[in-house]
């Protein structure tokens, strides 16, 4: 009887290992889909133009500890508060060569970890008076994790990426702009592709620690 135990164990093991395409939940759960480590760099291409995103380091912006990034040498500040990833959004109007801030908010962009079906929407309203003129700003950021897909971009092929549906409405007084589309985030790497308002952006090079 004893020798058959080994057979049972072997069969169970072989059955397990031979089963293809089982779910990679643990793989996804063990990876960071938004790595803001100092020194990380991503280069994207959009309609022939390149965009370089670089994590410069940790800093303190408007009283909040955050990561300091540059996007084509323009400053960006991102922070993570428990599960929420926020970006400092500053909108200004210019009068006579001077910038006046009409919106300044740490806007929630993502809820981590990504998980299928999760959905979040945040609205930020602000009213400011600049030189006697009143500015009403409203920004609504909505995202939904809609799929897990494999993605091919010039930088390589990436498996188990999360596909997010993104809708963002920005209203300043009577003018409204809408951005909508999809983003793909790869494990350990971050954004690899986006299609926003029919414009495709793809990762062409990266250096991630």
- In the complex, the residues that contact other proteins under the rule CB under 8 A are 1-2, 5-6, 8-9, 12-13, 15-17, 19-32, 80, 82-83, 111-120, 145, 150, 157, 159
In the complex, least distance from residue 79 CB atom to other proteins, rounded to whole angstroms: 13
CB of 71 to other proteins, least distance (A): 25
CB of 68 to other proteins, least distance (A): 20
Would you say 23 or 174 has its CB closer to other proteins?
Answer: 23
Provide the minimum distance between the beta carbon of 20 and other proteins in the complex, in angstroms, as a whole number.
6
Closest CB to other proteins among residues 16, 63 = 16
**CA 172/CA 90 separation, integer angstroms:** 13
Tell me how far apart the alpha carbons of residues 89 and 40 are, in angstroms, rounded to a whole number: 22
Two tokens, residue 7: 């057979």
Q: How far is the CB of 32 from other proteins (least distance, A)?
A: 7
Q: For residue 36, give Cα distances in angstroms to 55, 61, 69, 87.
A: 6, 16, 9, 12
CB-wise, 32 or 138, nearer to other proteins?
Answer: 32
| Beta carbons of 159 and 31 less than 8 angstroms apart | no
Close Cβ partners of 55 (under 8 Å, ≥ 6 residues apart): 36, 37, 38, 39, 40, 41, 67, 68, 69
Q: Which is nearer to other proteins, 9 or 52 (CB)?
A: 9
Based on CB atoms, which residue is closest to other proteins, 157 or 178? 157
CA distance 82 to 116: 19
Q: Helix, strand or coil for residue 12?
A: helix
């Amino acid at each position: 009887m004893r020798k058959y135990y080994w057979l049972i164990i072997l069969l169970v093991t072989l059955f397990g290992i031979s089963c293809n395409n089982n779910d990679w939940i643990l793989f996804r759960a063990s990876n960071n889909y938004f790595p803001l480590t100092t020194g990380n760099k991503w280069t994207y291409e959009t309609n022939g133009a390149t965009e370089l995103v670089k994590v410069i380091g940790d800093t303190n912006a408007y009283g909040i500890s955050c990561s300091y990034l540059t996007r084509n040498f323009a400053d960006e500040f991102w922070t993570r508060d428990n599960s929420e990833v926020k970006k400092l959004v500053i909108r200004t109007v210019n009068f006579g060569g001077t910038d006046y801030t009409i919106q300044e908010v740490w806007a929630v962009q993502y809820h981590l970890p990504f998980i299928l079906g999760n959905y979040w929407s945040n609205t930020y309203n602000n009213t400011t008076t600049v030189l006697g003129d009143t500015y009403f700003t409203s920004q609504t950021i909505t995202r939904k994790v809609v799929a897990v897909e494999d993605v091919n971009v010039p930088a390589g092929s990436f498996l188990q990426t999360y596909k997010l549906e993104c809708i963002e409405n920005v209203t300043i007084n009577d003018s409204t702009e809408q951005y909508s589309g999809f983003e793909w985030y790869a494990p350990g790497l971050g954004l690899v592709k986006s299609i926003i308002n029919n414009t495709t952006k793809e990762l062409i090079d990266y250096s991630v620690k």
